[in-house]
Amino acid sequence: MPALLILTYVGFVSLGLPDAVLGVAWPSLRDAFGLPQSALGAILVGTGVGYFSSGLAAGRLVERLGVGKLLALSSGLITVAMLGYATAPVWPLLILCALVAGLGSGAIDAGLNAYAASNFSARHVNWLHACYCLGAALGPLIATAALAASGSFRWGYAAIGAIMLLLTTSFAVTKASFRARSAGGAGAPEAPGASAVAALRRGRVWLQIAVFFVYSGLEVTLGQWCFTINTEARGVAEEAAGIWAGAYWGSLGVGRVLLGVAVERVGADRLLRMATLAALLGSALFAVGPAWPGAVGLMVAGLGLAPIYPTLMSRTPARLGASTAHAIGFQVSAAMLGGVILPSVGGVLAARLGLPSIGTLAVIAAAGLWLLHEALIRVTREPQPEAASAAG
C-alpha cells in the first residue's frame, strides 16, 4: 500500500508537469513555425476538446479497463504527445498532439481522482493535489532549463516526454495492484443502475458538476487575469505583479498541504464552508482593493480555493456511492469547461467595460460557489430515494 500511494503521488506530479509548459515554450515554438500570437488558441482548443471528451468517458473507461490500465494507456498518450511536440515538423501535427495530450490528461485526471477519492482519506487527496501544483511548477522550470541550454522548445518537451515514459512504464507494471486495491471502489465494476445516464438523473450530481464548473472558473480567472489587472489597471510594476501572480498559485499548493492536515480534525464539510467564504472574502478584497490590499486578497482567495477541489473529490464517494466513477468524470469535464469559459467571459467584459469588471465577475463567481456548496450540503443531508435505486 505505501508503494502504491507513493506511485499515486507521483502520478499527480506528472499530471501537472505538461500543463504549464506551453507558456514557456510558446515564444520559441511560435518563431520556429512562423505563427501569429493568435495561433496559441488552436493549441488550447485542441487540448480542451481532448480533455473534456476523455473526462466524460472516464467512468465507462474505468469500468471496462480498470484504473491501472487506464492510467497506463493515458500516460502513454501524453508521452506520445510530448514527444510529438519535440519532433513535429509541421504546425498541424502540433494541434493533433494537443488533442492527444488532452485525451490522456483528462483520463488521468478523472481516473486518478476516482481512485484516490475511493481509497484515500481527504488529507491524502489534498496532498495529492498539492503534488499536482508541484508538477505544474516543475514543468516550466524543466522547459526553461532546456530552452536556455538548447535555444529550442523541443528539448523541454523531450525531457517531459522521457519522464512520462517512465511513469507509463510504472503504471503498466503496477496496473494489477490498482485493480486489486479498487475492489468495491473506483476501479471495480459498478452496479448496473450506476450508468452515466442514471448518474445524471440525480440532482446532487448536477449540483457537484455546477460546483466544479464555478470553482475552476474562479481559480483560473483570478490566476490568468491578476497580472494584467495589476499592471494595466493598477499601475503595479511587472516584477511585483509577477511575484504576486506566482504567490497566488503557490498559495494553492501550500494551502493544500496545510489544510490537508486540518481536514480530518475540522471535518470536510465544515472546512469547505470556511474555504468558500475565504474565497469570497479574498475575491472581494482583490476586486475593490488597490495594489497591496488586492495582493492580500489574492493570497486569501488562493488559500480559500486550495482545499475545495480535492476535498470535494474526496466527498464524492460518500455522496454519490455507485455513481462515483461517472460523476468524477463529469466533474473533471465541468472543471475544464469552467476554466475556459469564465476567464473568456472576463476577457469580453474587460473589452467592453474595462479590466475592473473582471474583479466583479470573480466576486459573483465566488458568491455562486458558496451558494452552490451550501445547496449541496442541504441536499446531501436530505433523504435521497434515488440513491438506493442507483445502487442497483
Q: How far lies 150's CA from each of 137, 147, 236, in Å?
A: 21, 5, 33
By C-alpha distance, which of 301, 303, 299 is closest to 283?
Answer: 301
Q: Are 298 and 342 in contact (CB under 8 A)?
A: no
* Predicted pLDDT of residue 159: 93
Q: Which CATH superfamily is domain 198-383 in?
A: MFS general substrate transporter like domains (1.20.1250.20)
CA angle 74, 106, 220 (to 5 degrees): 145
Q: Is the pLDDT of residue 236 over 70?
A: yes
- Give me the DSSP letters along 250-280: HHHHHHHHHHHHHHHHH-HHHHHHHHHHHHH
Q: Are 316 and 211 in contact (CB under 8 A)?
A: no
Q: Are 264 and 123 in contact (CB under 8 A)?
A: yes
Grid-cell match 504567490, residue found: 247
In angstroms, the CA 203 to CA 208 distance is: 9
* Whole-structure pTM value: 0.75
Considering the domain delimited by 8-189, tell me its CATH architecture. Answer: Up-down Bundle (1.20)
pLDDT digits (tens, 9 = 90+) for 252-273: 888 988 888 888 888 889 999 9
* Predicted pLDDT of residue 78: 95
HSE-up (13 A, CA, CB side) for residue 363:
14
Length of the chain: 392
Which of 116-130, 253-267, 269-283 has maximum average pLDDT? 269-283
* Predicted pLDDT of residue 82: 96
* Predicted pLDDT of residue 388: 36
Fold match between domain 8-189 and domain 198-383: yes
Query: Average pLDDT, stretch 357-374?
Result: 96
By C-alpha distance, which of 282, 140, 293, 143 is closest to 223?
Answer: 282
Q: Is the pLDDT of residue 384 over 50?
A: no
In angstroms, the CA 194 to CA 200 distance is: 10
- Give me the DSSP letters along 310-336: HHHHHHHHHHHGGGHHHHHHHHHHHHH
* Predicted pLDDT of residue 182: 44
Query: What residue ranges do the domains of the chain occupy?
Result: 8-189, 198-383
In angstroms, the CA 112 to CA 171 distance is: 11
* Predicted pLDDT of residue 59: 73
For the chain, helix (H) and strand (E) counts, in that order, are 16, 0
Angle, to 10 degrees, between the axis of helix 238-266 and the axis of helix 203-228?
150
Query: Average pLDDT, stretch 349-361?
Result: 91
* Predicted pLDDT of residue 331: 87
Using CB atoms within 10 Å of the CB of residue 35, give its burial: 0 to 12 exposed, 13 to 18 middle, 19+ buried: middle
Exposure pattern of 129-162 as b/e (b: 16+ CB <10 Å)?
A: bbbbbbbbbbbbebbeebbeeeebbbbbbbbbbe
pLDDT digits (tens, 9 = 90+) for 149-189: 888 989 999 999 999 998 899 888 877 776 544 433 444 44
Query: Average pLDDT, stretch 378-388?
Result: 55
In angstroms, the CA 245 to CA 237 distance is: 12
Higher local confidence (pLDDT), 308 or 179: 308
Q: Are 158 and 83 in contact (CB under 8 A)?
A: yes
What H or E segment, with its residue span, contains residue 29? Answer: helix 21-33
pLDDT digits (tens, 9 = 90+) for 187-233: 444 444 456 666 666 678 888 899 999 999 999 889 878 888 888 88
Q: Is the pLDDT of residue 56 over 50?
A: yes
